[in-house]
A and B are shown apart, each in its own frame.
Chain A
């Protein structure tokens, strides 16, 4: 059974940093691209970042480019999101999601077949 468990969320001051983790199990982690999607309170879904299975290709939303870094440790079956220079508008529930199929980039990156339950990030003074 595929499981994705996010952790690392919490309360942080504006300008601060946080690292999110997503522990994956139930599939061959290194074979699949992974993604972070966030949802601000009461708002819709927003794609944040994606990474290919071998970590060689990364993609970012303009809203986080230069501040967030996605990475993965395939030996630990874990996905990460390093978030720096956090702003109030980054407050959201952050989901990690598995990308379906053998996808390394482009059109298939929108296909998220499994999602975690999310970890809440609150940016506030």
Chain B
């Protein structure tokens, strides 16, 4: 069981908006930044969102992140077939003195 909780799967049709949730606690999301990673099939993960809602250069503005209390969300608007991937949230955990990941959400574009 992962410290951060994500739905195992999500889906949408091209052009739709989907959101992926990430639930934690006061020791991780509640007091630290949240990061989102995208892992395309057979490749290494890539950072999509850092410090809760910041996008690295090169990441389309279709991807956005938000945080409220002990939960965070990744939103993907204008869904495209190439967005089909696994998505992970991550945060530092003060109690564990380490980084914790969510279990991952497999996004399917129908």
Measured CB to CB, the residues of A under 8 A from B are 35, 37, 44-47, 50, 59-62, 95, 100, 106-113, 115-118
Contact = CB atoms under 8 A, between A and B. Distances in A.
A110 B44 contact: no
B2 A44 contact: yes
A46 B104 CA distance: 11
A107 B101 CA distance: 13
Contact of A61 (B31, B39, B46, B98): B98
Contacts of A95: 44-45
Interface residues of B, number: 29
B91 A110 contact: yes
Main secondary structure of the interface of B (DSSP, over half): strand
Contacts, number: 71
Given A59-B98, A111-B35, 15 more contacts: A44-B2, A44-B102, A45-B39, A45-B90, A45-B101, A47-B99, A47-B100, A95-B44, A100-B47, A108-B92, A110-B32, A110-B92, A112-B45, A115-B46, A116-B44
Nearest to B31: A107
Contacts of A35: 99
B110 interface: no
Interface in B53-110: 56, 86, 88, 90-92, 96-104
Given A107-B32, A107-B33, A112 B47 contact: yes
B97 A59 contact: yes
B99 A106 contact: no
Given A45-B101, A59-B98, A113 B44 contact: no
B3 to A, nearest CB: 10
Contacts of A118: 44
16 contacts: A44-B88, A44-B102, A45-B45, A45-B101, A50-B98, A95-B45, A106-B92, A107-B92, A108-B33, A108-B92, A109-B92, A110-B33, A110-B34, A110-B92, A112-B37, A116-B44
Q: Rank and list the top 3 A-B pairs by shortest CB-CB distance, nearest first.
A: A47-B99, A107-B32, A44-B104
